[in-house]
Amino acid sequence: MTTERYTTPRLFSDLAIPSGEVLAEELEVRGMTQEELADRMGCSPQVIDEIVRAERAITPEIASGLGKALGGSSQFWTNLEEHYRMTLEHIRAKAAAERQTS
Protein backbone atom coordinates (compact mmCIF):
# COMPACT_ATOMS: atom_id res chain seq x y z
CA MET A 1 0.00 0.00 0.00
CA THR A 2 1.37 3.37 -1.00
CA THR A 3 0.72 6.37 1.15
CA GLU A 4 0.78 9.65 -0.68
CA ARG A 5 1.35 12.83 1.21
CA TYR A 6 -0.67 15.81 0.28
CA THR A 7 0.37 19.21 1.37
CA THR A 8 -1.85 22.20 1.33
CA PRO A 9 -0.10 25.11 -0.32
CA ARG A 10 0.11 28.22 1.79
CA LEU A 11 -1.85 31.08 0.39
CA PHE A 12 -0.41 34.52 0.72
CA SER A 13 -1.94 37.79 -0.22
CA ASP A 14 -0.01 40.78 -1.42
CA LEU A 15 -1.06 42.60 1.73
CA ALA A 16 0.97 42.05 4.89
CA ILE A 17 -0.94 43.24 7.93
CA PRO A 18 1.42 43.89 10.84
CA SER A 19 0.50 42.10 14.04
CA GLY A 20 0.84 45.45 15.78
CA GLU A 21 -2.06 46.76 13.73
CA VAL A 22 -4.22 43.93 15.04
CA LEU A 23 -3.02 44.72 18.56
CA ALA A 24 -3.88 48.41 18.12
CA GLU A 25 -7.40 47.48 16.98
CA GLU A 26 -7.79 45.12 19.94
CA LEU A 27 -6.78 47.87 22.35
CA GLU A 28 -9.21 50.29 20.72
CA VAL A 29 -12.09 47.82 20.97
CA ARG A 30 -11.28 47.25 24.65
CA GLY A 31 -10.85 50.95 25.38
CA MET A 32 -7.38 50.19 26.71
CA THR A 33 -4.31 52.35 26.26
CA GLN A 34 -0.87 51.09 25.33
CA GLU A 35 0.30 52.22 28.78
CA GLU A 36 -2.39 50.14 30.50
CA LEU A 37 -1.42 47.09 28.48
CA ALA A 38 2.26 47.61 29.24
CA ASP A 39 1.43 47.89 32.93
CA ARG A 40 -0.57 44.65 32.85
CA MET A 41 2.28 42.90 31.03
CA GLY A 42 4.99 44.37 33.22
CA CYS A 43 6.88 45.83 30.29
CA SER A 44 7.81 49.24 29.01
CA PRO A 45 5.16 51.24 27.14
CA GLN A 46 7.86 51.73 24.50
CA VAL A 47 7.75 48.00 23.74
CA ILE A 48 4.01 48.14 23.03
CA ASP A 49 4.39 51.32 20.98
CA GLU A 50 7.13 49.74 18.85
CA ILE A 51 4.96 46.67 18.23
CA VAL A 52 2.01 48.85 17.22
CA ARG A 53 4.25 50.81 14.81
CA ALA A 54 5.64 47.51 13.36
CA GLU A 55 9.12 48.35 14.59
CA ARG A 56 9.31 45.36 16.93
CA ALA A 57 8.25 41.76 16.39
CA ILE A 58 6.03 39.88 18.79
CA THR A 59 8.39 37.40 20.40
CA PRO A 60 7.21 34.29 22.25
CA GLU A 61 7.75 36.14 25.55
CA ILE A 62 5.68 39.11 24.42
CA ALA A 63 3.02 36.76 23.02
CA SER A 64 2.79 35.09 26.41
CA GLY A 65 2.35 38.46 28.09
CA LEU A 66 -0.31 39.49 25.57
CA GLY A 67 -2.17 36.25 26.12
CA LYS A 68 -2.20 36.74 29.89
CA ALA A 69 -2.99 40.47 29.78
CA LEU A 70 -5.74 40.20 27.17
CA GLY A 71 -7.15 36.87 28.24
CA GLY A 72 -6.41 34.96 25.07
CA SER A 73 -3.94 32.51 23.65
CA SER A 74 -0.28 33.37 23.30
CA GLN A 75 -0.29 31.07 20.27
CA PHE A 76 -2.66 33.45 18.49
CA TRP A 77 -0.12 36.27 18.75
CA THR A 78 2.78 34.02 17.78
CA ASN A 79 0.90 32.76 14.71
CA LEU A 80 -0.16 36.27 13.76
CA GLU A 81 3.46 37.47 13.83
CA GLU A 82 4.71 34.43 11.91
CA HIS A 83 2.08 34.89 9.21
CA TYR A 84 2.98 38.57 8.88
CA ARG A 85 6.69 37.78 8.50
CA MET A 86 6.02 34.96 6.02
CA THR A 87 3.76 37.23 3.96
CA LEU A 88 6.46 39.90 3.87
CA GLU A 89 8.96 37.33 2.64
CA HIS A 90 6.50 36.12 -0.01
CA ILE A 91 6.04 39.71 -1.22
CA ARG A 92 9.81 40.26 -1.37
CA ALA A 93 10.40 37.00 -3.24
CA LYS A 94 7.60 37.75 -5.69
CA ALA A 95 9.03 41.22 -6.38
CA ALA A 96 12.52 39.78 -6.90
CA ALA A 97 11.17 37.17 -9.33
CA GLU A 98 9.30 39.85 -11.25
CA ARG A 99 12.45 41.97 -11.50
CA GLN A 100 14.39 38.99 -12.88
CA THR A 101 11.79 38.35 -15.59
CA SER A 102 11.55 42.01 -16.62
Contact between 63 and 78 under an 8 Å Cβ cutoff? The reply is yes
pLDDT in tens, 27-72: 999 999 999 999 999 999 999 999 999 999 999 999 999 999 999 9
Hey, what domains does the chain have and what are their CATH numbers?
19-101 (1.10.260.40)
Is the pLDDT score of 8 beyond 90? no
Q: Give the whole-angstrom CA distance, residue 77 versus residue 82.
A: 9
With b meaning 16 or more CB within 10 Å and e meaning fewer, what string describes 51-68?
Answer: bbeeebbbeeebbbbbbe
Predicted TM-score of the model (pTM)? 0.82
